[in-house]
Structure 1
Amino acid sequence: MRKSIAVVGMLGVTATAHAQSNVTLYGLIDTSLEYTNNQKGGTNYQMASGLESGSRWGMKGAEDLGGGLKAIFQLENGFSGTTGALGQNSRMFGRAAYVGLTSTTFGSFTAGRQNEPSADFVGPLVASNQWAGGIGAHPGDTDNLYVNSRISNSIKFLSLDYGGFRVGGLFSFGGTAGDFSNNRIWSVAAGYTHGPLSLAASYINTSRPNTALWDGTAGAAAISPNNTPIYSGYASARTLNVASVAANYTLGSARFGLAYSNSRFGDLGSSDASAPIARYRGATVVFDNAEANFSYQLTPALLLGVAYDYTRTRGAGDAHYNQVNLGGDYYLSKRTDVYLTTAYQTASGIDSTGKAAVAALWPVTASSNSHQIVAALGLRHRF
């Protein structure tokens, strides 16, 4: 009897192992030497992790259920390549933790913690996700196109490709007992690719962005590195709505890109973060952001890029930000590359704190004045 149970158990393990045979372990480590001309008034040299791409490791897999249907999962951890610390507010799998189904008929449905659809459609068309890295993110990354924020408690749909056209949508339940709308997020996006042309658009609607998007807590501003003066004074907003559009066109070895986003913080002064300065209470502030980018594949191994970004605020505050990015990426192999990326930002007007705006490139500490330069030389390896 015991032998029979043992044999059945062994068969069960073998069947399970066979069913889960399509499991992939993967990762990326990105470490750089970084120079900043002004952080709180002083020059700084430091090591940085994930400036071009967030350091990570993870596993993903699929099980064929037959009839074109598969069960899928992904677990992805973010970490610091310089200290080994957990990322995403010390989450074990802060970058991704979801399970779902994918079909050759309808696309995929997934549930858990994951990117919202703008990351799948608009994000790949901006310079920060092509070659500029984090310091190429739009000021404050208020549009989340650099994908600083992942969405917990969410259900997501991505369609199949129909003649180059795809759509996606996400809904997050928020997870607040007794208050269905608190921390709720919904997002829709669409993209079209035909030959050298790529177009994309997205819309995000967030309730209580301080806690839903940025890991802040009620009564306190969002945690570092998101406590940038570009929008930290707006952490009390009851809503955040973001509309984004982008286009890329490839001509031989050259790629041209344009992007625009409109981020609207509504009803400042809610109880979900520290109250705004008095004259901002109840107000709405709008970020208009426009980017033009260009990259050129000089050789099969060497990519060069340049981008310009202009951001202005309207409503509560009237800050203006101008940003220029330059970068180069050289591949030593298919999995290993060396990059040099630089950024220069200027600021003017009054920012979210009610003070004279200061330059604040992501993810470094803000400058003490209206100018900031960051340059990073890094090594990135995928495994």
Structure 2
Amino acid sequence: MRKRIFAIAITMNAMAAQAQSSVTLYGRIDNGFRFETGLPGGHRFNAESGDWGCSWLGLRGAEDLGGGTQAIFQLESVLNTQTGELWGNLFGRHATIGVANPGMGTLKLGNLGAGELSQDSLWVDPQFMQRYAVSTLVRGRNWASATNGFEYTSPDLMGLTLKVQYDLTNNYNWNISATPGGQGRTDTIEATYNVGAAQLRVIYDELRGASGTFDNVYVHSRSLMAGGAYTVGPVRFYAGYQHLGAPGATNASVGVANASQPAGITAPTSVDHAWLGAAWRVTGVATVTGGVYHANANHGNGNGTMYTFGGTYNLSKRTFLYAELGYLHNSSTSNLSLGSDSYGNNNYDPATGTAWNDNPVYGHSQAGVFAGIMISF
């Protein structure tokens, strides 16, 4: 009899524990095609994974600790669903544990990964950080990642939410990377204010290089971004501004030789970036998006302007088709690219058909189009 009571007690405890905790498997797959012109070797047609947004696979869970507090965790991987390979580390996007309470906020510890706050600029971007979007003219600077860190998000304070991140180097020196060539100390703060049909967002972000300095405006720099979105009927309007600063940037620190650049051009130490756009929900299943982005870099690096037009069509609640057109016009001393995150000359070799990056020739333009399908689960 006692054995039966003990077995029943174990079963009831297991059922209670199950009721108080949850684990969710989730993910998304994005595959499509892309055609671009103005590349160092001419044009290219690709099968691609992740032009609208990267594919991922993850686990998230929560356990009720009582009093409205939960223990939470998240593990997430990035996938190349054209080849089946992982992009980066196994849980390179997220590997965190923390606690959350509606009245006190949320604290996370671990690899914040793609949760680095510069990536929240997608919320003030009419193209939602697709391939041709707010990160393009700053050579991927808004795709920063964060490791060895913690993040605190405040509860909603009458429409205002604050978020703070701090990431350690795990080195004796507070600022310098413990890994040669790695990333130094980073810290970020974000304020979001929602009022009626408007959302305002300000993000201040610092990413240091391996030596603890700001040595590449597109990689290791200070970033101040302010933007907003406002909805009028079926149309949502977007506007934003971003300033990047890297006072320690030199040709050597960004990895280019003086002779590889046009006369008068040296590594930029600041970039100013602004954009305008809108998303129009034409029907319940179709949305059209458009945006104009402009960036200007100092030290003779000129300016670039990108024009985009795209749209999505929902096949269901979890699956949609997408497409986007992009055209990027460079001034005579600029070689911004639709897809390359690298700074400097492409060093194209016509004999071998190879280039160091996809940057166009200085002063030349690029155009592209991509389309595909995304499913979430």
Return the TM-score normalized by structure 2.
0.82
Match of 1:108 in 2: 106
What aligned pairs does 1:243-322 form with structure 2 within 5 A after superposition?
A: 243-269=224-250, 274=255, 277=258, 285-314=269-298, 316-322=299-305
Letter in 1 for 2:133: G
SS in 2 for 1:136: coil
SS in 1 for 2:73: strand
Q: Deviations over 1:19-69 (max 9, x none)?
A: 774111000000111111132232111111111111001010110100121
Establish whether residue 366 from structure 1 lines up as the match of residue 359 from structure 2: yes
Q: Deviations over 1:255-303 (max 9, x none)?
A: 111000001122124987647649888x861110000011110000000
What aligned pairs does 1:1-383 form with structure 2 within 5 A after superposition?
A: 14=14, 18=18, 21-87=21-87, 90-114=88-112, 115-120=115-120, 122-129=121-128, 133-141=130-138, 144-145=141-142, 148-175=143-170, 177-182=171-176, 183-208=184-209, 235=216, 240-269=221-250, 274=255, 277=258, 285-314=269-298, 316-350=299-333, 357-362=334-339, 365-368=358-361, 370-383=364-377
Deviation at 1:76, TM superposition (A): 0.7
Deviation at 1:79, TM superposition (A): 0.8
- Pair 1:254–1:273, CA change in 2 (3 A): closer
Letter in 2 for 1:332: L
Give me the CA root mean square deviation. 3.2
Instruction: For 1:258 and 1:334, locate their aligned partners in 2 and report how far apart those are by CA, in whole Å.
Output: 28
Q: Percent identity?
A: 24
Which runs of 5 or more residues in structure 1 are unaligned? 214-233, 351-356
Instruction: For 2:99 and 2:336, locate their aligned partners in 1 and report how far apart those are by CA, in whole Å.
Output: 44
Aligned residues: 344
Return the TM-score normalized by structure 1.
0.81
- Pair 1:97–1:12, CA change in 2 (3 A): farther
SS in 2 for 1:193: strand
- Pair 1:196–1:38, CA change in 2 (3 A): same
Contact 1:167 1:191 (C-alpha < 8 Å) held by counterparts? yes
Contact 1:134 1:363 (C-alpha < 8 Å) held by counterparts? no
Contact 2:137 2:304 (C-alpha < 8 Å) held by counterparts? no
- Pair 1:237–1:25, CA change in 2 (3 A): closer
Instruction: For 1:237 and 1:347, locate their aligned partners in 2 and report how far apart those are by CA, in whole Å.
Output: 17
Instruction: For 1:149 and 1:11, locate their aligned partners in 2 and report how far apart those are by CA, in whole Å.
Output: 46
Letter in 2 for 1:173: L
Instruction: For 1:7 and 1:313, locate their aligned partners in 2 and report how far apart those are by CA, in whole Å.
Output: 71
- Pair 1:107–1:276, CA change in 2 (3 A): farther
Deviation at 1:349, TM superposition (A): 3.9
Instruction: For 1:346 and 1:376, locate their aligned partners in 2 and report how far apart those are by CA, in whole Å.
Output: 18
Contact 1:36 1:373 (C-alpha < 8 Å) held by counterparts? yes
Contact 1:112 1:152 (C-alpha < 8 Å) held by counterparts? yes
- Pair 1:42–1:160, CA change in 2 (3 A): same
